Each structure stands twice: as structure tokens, then as C-alpha cells.
Structure 1
Amino acid sequence: MFDFLGLQETELLNDFVPFHPFRMETGSELEMPLIGVLVNVFDGGLAIGVSFSHKLIDAVTANAFLKSWAAVFRGSRDKIIHPNLSHASLVFPPRDDLPKKYLALMEIEVMV
């Protein structure tokens, strides 16, 4: 792995992840899954490459997930990240009350 990290041709590192990092998400989900994991075994250890679709996860969430995943397998349960998902509504409160603005539209959709 250290040999690959020392190379000037960083495109070779794309061989260690399941999907090309800048691939367009076109076609069916069979062509482009939401998540992929590739385990690369070396003489001195292993490297795990993970590809996430942005439809599933953003960079901050992927970082928290991978750090927690690594902490579980290292046995460092005190380093597991426990997100409080209810804080999102405090940081990004809704602009309008949903029932007042969309109740009539929701009733129409149910009848159709």
C-alpha cells in the first residue's frame, strides 16, 4: 500500500475502491449500487475501500459512519459516534407548517 501511496499517478488508487470516484450515477441501480465495499489484502495488512452514493449519505455522515465502524472493530466502543438526529430540525427548522400549506394538496393526492 505504501508503494501505491508514493506514486505520482493517483489514478491508480481508484483500483482500491469499488466504483470510480467521479462516475456519473446514470442507469439503473443494478449498474450503480448505493454502497460498495472492497477489501484489499496486502502482505502487511488490508485496506478497505468504500463507495457511497450521495443519494444515501453525505461526506459528514460517511465520516461518522466509518469512524464508528472502525471503533467497533478495534474494540474502542467509547469512540463510537451516537448522533442525535433530532437536532437537524433545530438547525434547519421548517419554514411553513406542513398541514396548513399542503393539507388540501395531500387530500387531492389521496383521492386520485
Structure 2
Amino acid sequence: MWWHQVEAKTGFNLLLTHWWRDTSAFYGRPDNALELAILSLRSLPKAQRKAWQALFNYYVFNDELDSLEHIPEHAKAALTLPLPEQQALKLRASLLNKLKR
């Protein structure tokens, strides 16, 4: 994850960036999550963005979800690490359905 600049020196140039991944493709691309977050969160008022940041920090970036008692049993599957393929596909289908609206 880095920023870089490329300057074309001739009439024909090619820039190829490829991110290797260590997870299955059914999990989706992280840059899609970033684009959706920019679309849906970036324009919120600062206090709301901070609230979403706390949720992301806890549910996405926290590797040790040791306090899940408050979450209904049927909803805990989405927090399983690694996320099972069927659960990932179910989340993807739900997100696609929501994005169609």
C-alpha cells in the first residue's frame, strides 16, 4: 500500500499494478470496500464519521472479538475468522442487492 507517481517518457507507455492476495477471491477486493466507504461515509458530518470509524475499528480491524455476547447467535457468523465461503457469498449477495437500489 503506497502512493507513487509515474511519468510517461515516450509515446507508448504501460503501467501495470497487481496486488497479490493471500485470501480466496470470494471475499472480494478491498478497494471495492474503500470506494463504497468513500461514497457512503466520506460526506457524513464529522461526528457520524467518527462513530462509523469506531464500528469499523471494532468489527473490521480488531482481531480479537472477545466480547460478542451482545450479538444474536445468527448474526455472529459474519464475524467468524476466517469467514466461511457460504457466509461471504451471502454477504456479497446482500450487498449487491442493496447497491441496486
- TM category, shorter: under 0.3
TM-score, normalised with respect to structure 2:
0.25
Structure having the higher strand fraction is: 1
TM-score, normalised with respect to structure 1:
0.23
The higher relative CO (CA closer than 8 Å, separation ≥ 6) is in: 2
